[in-house]
Structure 1
Amino acid sequence: MNKQNEIVFTGIVFIAMAYGISRFSYGLLLPYFGDDLELSNQVSGMISAISYLTYCLGLVSMFTIFKNYQPRAILLISGSLSLYGLYNLMVAEEYPLFGAGVIILGYAAGLATAPFGQIIKEKVSYGHQDRSNSWINTGIGVGLILVGIIVWIVGDAWRISYAIFLVISLIIMYFSYKKLPKVDMSHLNYKTDLRNIFVGRKMIISTVLLGIGTSAYWTYFQSYVFQTPHDDVKNLFWIMLGVGGVLGGFAGHMNERMGTVKVHILTCVLLAIANVTLVVTENFFLMIFSTTLFGLVYVFAMGVYAFWCARCYTEYPAMGIIVTFVSLAAGQFLGTFLSGFLLERFGYQGLFYIYGAFSFLNIFFRPLAEELADI
């Protein structure tokens, strides 16, 4: 395996740990540990909300951390926090310790996002950077598949699930420690300047809309599945979402063939279709199609915005990634906040139709060709 492929593979397994295993397993396992820890809906929602805030804090803190630490060191700190958070979840007897673990995992995921952008910038040849970023994002899907399979096998023994997650994460951390490269940051003369942060204004608006368009799915798709005759195979939907996420790694190839503008439009249309087809009927195959398509489009979109932000923030790509993910998180927070009211008023069908429309609206905030010119 050459050095560039080694970096990409390391990124995939690290993101699988930081996102798929550490950050997203909470939602899948909530029905299993909720009763044991006497978690009310209010408490579980509060833990999730604080975890979201610490995720944003992790992203924003990168603006200052990058001045003092190597990307490799930041990733190792992130991974160590993931291990500590997972250990808390495994041993917790009461919800305060469990909640602290979830909150730590949120911050760890925030730290894991930007460093790979700088590593790719410095260590991967220019013609392969977009494709490399796309494949690293598929780690989200890989992690979801692992979590879904493990929970399906283990069932309601959630402590065993977290013990397995911890062992897998330990292996990933050892591999990352051996393979993550050091990056020379001495040539960077970066200052946190609002003029730099908002240079990609249209991209920020578009990313917020993407966050809104994906928020209802992440929050309520499993709850909707529980209302259908297919709740006995609910883990299969989670696994297929992960499979779609892995397929989303082909965003780099699509971008090279079609161009980012056309791929952006395609992404918006497919996300709208994924939202609508989940609830248009309770047909099993159509719902599986919707879930797989959503996973594909979510990771696909990460690739599209990675291309866009790399052109907007040419000198400091890590900043572009931070801005992109903070904007995405802001959109998801806003979308999640509104979705509860919309669900109560319009039901599942109305909710997903509305968010499908939000996804389609994003077509009007596509990048211009001149914004994407290679520099």
Structure 2
Amino acid sequence: MSRTRLLSVGGALATAIAFGPARMGFGLFLPVFRDEFALSTSTAGLIASSAFGGFFLAVLLTVWLVVTQGPRLAVAVGCFTALLGTTLIAIAQNTAMLALGTVLAATSAGFCWSPFNDAAERGIPLGERERALSIISTGTAGGIVGAGVMAFAVAGLEHGWRTVWLLFSLAALITAAVNLYALARLPRRGGQPVDRSALGSLTARPAWPLLAIALSFGLTNGFYLSFAVDHVSQAGGLPGLATALAGPVLYIALGAGGLIGFLTADVKARIGLTALVRGIFACSLVSLLLLGWLPTHWSALLISAALQGACIMVLSAIFSFWSSYLHPTLPTVGFTATLAVFALGNIVGPALGGFAAQPLGLATTFVANAGLSLATILLFPGKPRREALGDTMD
């Protein structure tokens, strides 16, 4: 297998486990966790935000690991935090164990994503890099579908959810083995100092549009992933389907919709980045409105989930290759800056939304989040600065 293909497969597996069950599994199983651990909406929001906080801290630590040791160690740490976190959730006996496992599992996403920008810069030819990064980012879709299928298979069994989380931990172990092998083949270049003269580009004006969409989507997506299944379950589920199966159906549709992320580079080449960003936030707007207003309608739920999945995967790819373009001498540091802003939105979104939903209700809070996506569409610059996008980007 070529180095490009091996890195793409290893990266896709890493994002599948880290961003699929490890980071999003709490929202998928929240109705079960509510019953098992007597969680309130505000407590669930705090656990979700804490998990995203773990992701944020891991993103920052990953920069140091990649700069000093290269990408291999960071990815390995991410795989093993996913293993430990999912195992703790599987055996959790109280809310504290559940929260700790959820936070540890979520940190894996911070360790397992941005190092592949550095790995791609080292080991993948420039002409193949953008497509490889899109494939790596879209590995999440497979992880979400797999989590949904497993949850569907065990719904109704008394302790089936624990079995699923043990299977998640086994998948994390396998992913660690694959990536330890794949990343060992990279040219060694650890210990290189950061190009400090380029650090100013991280917050310079050309980067503002990218950071703005990262924050906006971080807020709305963090809330969606934390409370979508809970909202559907509290509304009574889907007609003709056991309430416990609504969540798995939503996640399968979420992951299936995300498969479009594989085409991100090709779509961007055809329509330009400006149209792509506006279009994907229009998808976010519709997704949030449909789930907020029509949580018990089959068509509304499936369309909402598929659109949200497309948003996740397409924006993940955009974050990856746009940050690489803006910060060519700082591939991991530049991507990390984008992910840090995205993670801040993830932290604030579920906590703020969870508290707002207490008096307002989840439906109204979903609609309020849709307003943020609308504002992003309207405010995103029609002709982003040339130095931000360049002829090759738009």
TM-score, length basis structure 2: 0.86
Separation (CA, whole Å) in 1 of partners of 2:191 and 2:228 = 46
Q: Which amino acid aligns with 1:217?
A: Y
Query: Which residue does the alignment assign to 2:172?
Result: 169
1:284 aligns with 2:298: yes
Query: Which residue does the alignment assign to 1:114?
Result: 114
- Conservation of the 8 A alpha-carbon contact between 2:45 and 2:353: no
Query: Which residue does the alignment assign to 1:215?
Result: 222
Residue by residue, what CA displacement relative to the aligned partner does 1:292-334 show, whole Å, maximum 9, x if unpaired?
Answer: 1111112111112223212211111111211111111112333
Between 124-133 and 333-342, report the one with greater CA deviation.
333-342
Separation (CA, whole Å) in 2 of partners of 1:355 and 1:95 = 28
Specify whether residues 266 and 333 from structure 1 end up closer, same or farther in structure 2 by C-alpha distance, changes over 3 A only.
same
Paired residues in the alignment total 375
Query: Which residue does the alignment assign to 1:138?
Result: 138
Query: Which residue does the alignment assign to 1:305?
Result: 319
Report how far residue 205 of structure 1 moved. 2.2
Separation (CA, whole Å) in 2 of partners of 1:30 and 1:220 = 8
Q: Which of these residues, 167, 185, 188, is aligned with residue 189 of structure 2?
A: 185
Query: Which residue does the alignment assign to 2:258?
Result: 245
Between 109-118 and 197-206, report the one with greater CA deviation.
197-206
Pairing 1:69-88 to 2, within 5 Å after superposition: 69-88=69-88
Report how far residue 58 of structure 1 moved. 0.5
- Conservation of the 8 A alpha-carbon contact between 1:203 and 1:365: no
Separation (CA, whole Å) in 2 of partners of 1:270 and 1:44 = 26
Query: Which residue does the alignment assign to 1:275?
Result: 288
Separation (CA, whole Å) in 2 of partners of 1:361 and 1:45 = 24
Report how far residue 143 of structure 1 moved. 0.9
Separation (CA, whole Å) in 2 of partners of 1:213 and 1:43 = 19
Separation (CA, whole Å) in 2 of partners of 1:95 and 1:79 = 24
- Conservation of the 8 A alpha-carbon contact between 1:210 and 1:362: no
- Conservation of the 8 A alpha-carbon contact between 2:120 and 2:133: yes
Gaps of 5+ in 1: none
Report how far residue 153 of structure 1 moved. 1.0
Report how far residue 37 of structure 1 moved. 4.7
Specify whether residues 370 and 195 from structure 1 end up closer, same or farther in structure 2 by C-alpha distance, changes over 3 A only.
closer
TM-score, length basis structure 1: 0.91
Separation (CA, whole Å) in 1 of partners of 2:191 and 2:54 = 30
Gaps of 5+ in 2: none
- Conservation of the 8 A alpha-carbon contact between 1:115 and 1:318: yes
Specify whether residues 239 and 61 from structure 1 end up closer, same or farther in structure 2 by C-alpha distance, changes over 3 A only.
same
Residue by residue, what CA displacement relative to the aligned partner does 1:256-306 show, whole Å, maximum 9, x if unpaired?
Answer: 222212211211222112112223434311221111111111211111222
Q: Which amino acid aligns with 1:99?
A: A
